[in-house]
Structure 1
Amino acid sequence: MNSQLFFLIHNLSGHSHLLDDVMIFFTSDAFLLFAIVLLIAWLAGKSQLKSIVLYAGITGIVGLLLNVLIGSLYYEPRPFVTYHIHILLPHAKDDSFPSDHATGTFAIAFALWLRNRKLGSVMIGCAILTGISRVYVGHHYPMDVAASIVIALVVSIAIYKVERYVDPLVRSIINGYNSLVEKLIRKRFS
């Protein structure tokens, strides 16, 4: 079933330049897109939004670390290694399970959604496109992405549940940043 679903999605590639370009963008540049959104939110936001950004970053990092652990325990070859298929982008012949792109983007998106429904909903949409793109371009099986969604959800909820224990550190980081910016502004304009 995993292979059948893979071919159902992947066989759509190569027929529309526009769709190929959209999927290539999300496969190649999803992390950059998420980083830009987080950076803008950090720079434009007050302390509460900065806190949300920090939790999203922490959640993404923890999700990716969990992927490293899972990848060291279980190896799944990528679809283009197992099958002779055309991939839209070259990729290393490393482990396919779970998808780092899907885990990272979904972890950030879920963390944002738990704290800010509007921003989180938009980013979940971007994460969904990222997950689909990973199958579309031939880099992952659908179950690699599905597992990543589960990992991201579990990590997001776990970090949300322990937030009160991490809050002092997050507030210290934000206060330190705000103090540094104030000092730089005073120094620049004095």
Structure 2
Amino acid sequence: MQIDYSLFKLVNGLSGNAIADRSFTFLAQNLATLLMVLVALAFLVPWKQRRDERRRGAVIGTAAAGLALLVAQPIAHLVARARPYADHPVHLLIARSPDPSFPSDHATGAFALAFGLWLYDRTLGTVLLVLAALLSVSRVYVGTHYPGDVLAGALLGAGMAGALYLLPTRKLVELVVRFAGALTDRVLVRPHSAA
């Protein structure tokens, strides 16, 4: 735990610059929402290429995020790790949370979404993985998580996405993609009118 705290002090100790503080605070509070919107768009946008792959990735990522967050809850209460600001002097830039620190819910959900999409679309998935990593660093920067919290969340989220990808869930994923995809295509894509 000493290494975890030393890394925390290194990252959190960078705070104090008004522009960086505002930027990382914004990222820590809003990047998870942006990731959810991007995954939704990966499903909803009628891409000309790789539409079905992106939809499969969005389905796997979303399911993995939900399941990983369910798994994270009993782990958090079993480990019951206090937030950094409860045990150490920190530069806390966002409101305190009553939840345990380990694992980070933000990192868990973000990496599940990003890795789920990456499994089907390396380009878009890589962008989301970079955003998930940035979210994780920002949660340490603002003083609400140790690096080990976000690392555990990242492993849990990505691991759940990988497990769903490898398990025999493809038929279920295809069913969701076809059914939900057909509905969204009817709503979002205008049928060509007959001349």
Instruction: Give TM-score scaled by structure 1 length.
Output: 0.87
Equivalent residue, structure 2, for 1:79: 84
Cα displacement (A) at 1:142: 0.9
- 1:37-76 aligned within 5 A: 37-44=38-45, 45=47, 46-76=51-81
RMSD: 2.1
Question: How big is each residue's C-alpha offset from its partner over 1:162-188, in whole Å with a ceiling of 9 and x where there is no partner?
Answer: 1xx2222222223323443566689xx
- Identify unmatched segments of 5+ residues in structure 1: none
- 1:146, 1:69 → 2: CA distance? 17
Cα displacement (A) at 1:35: 1.4
- 2:154, 2:183 → 1: CA distance? 37
* Letter matched to residue 22 of structure 1: S
- 2:164, 2:85 → 1: CA distance? 35
Cα displacement (A) at 1:110: 1.5
Equivalent residue, structure 2, for 1:35: 36
Cα displacement (A) at 1:81: 0.9
* Letter matched to residue 94 of structure 2: L
The total of aligned residue pairs comes to 185
User: Cα gap change, 1:110/1:19 in structure 2, threshold over 3 Å: closer, same or farther?
Assistant: same
1:116 aligns with 2:121: yes
Question: How big is each residue's C-alpha offset from its partner over 1:62-103, in whole Å with a ceiling of 9 and x where there is no partner?
Answer: 221121121122110001111233311112232000101011
- 1:179, 1:20 → 2: CA distance? 44
- Identify unmatched segments of 5+ residues in structure 2: none
User: Cα gap change, 1:80/1:73 in structure 2, threshold over 3 Å: closer, same or farther?
Assistant: same
1:176 aligns with 2:179: yes
User: Cα gap change, 1:48/1:114 in structure 2, threshold over 3 Å: closer, same or farther?
Assistant: closer
Conserved in 2, the CA contact under 8 Å of 1:81 and 1:93?
Answer: no
Conserved in 1, the CA contact under 8 Å of 2:67 and 2:160?
Answer: yes
- 1:179, 1:40 → 2: CA distance? 15
- 1:156-175 aligned within 5 A: 156-162=161-167, 165-175=168-178
1:97 aligns with 2:99: no
Conserved in 2, the CA contact under 8 Å of 1:87 and 1:138?
Answer: yes
Q: Paired residue for 2:9, among 4, 7, 10? A: 7
Cα displacement (A) at 1:48: 2.9
* Letter matched to residue 60 of structure 2: Y
User: Cα gap change, 1:178/1:122 in structure 2, threshold over 3 Å: closer, same or farther?
Assistant: closer
User: Cα gap change, 1:179/1:8 in structure 2, threshold over 3 Å: closer, same or farther?
Assistant: closer
1:25 aligns with 2:26: yes
Q: Report the 3-state secondary structure (helix = DSSP H, G, I; strand = E; otherwise coil) of the residue aligned with 1:70.
A: helix
Cα displacement (A) at 1:156: 2.3
Conserved in 2, the CA contact under 8 Å of 1:30 and 1:101?
Answer: no
**Once the two structures are aligned, what percentage of the paired residues are identical?**
33
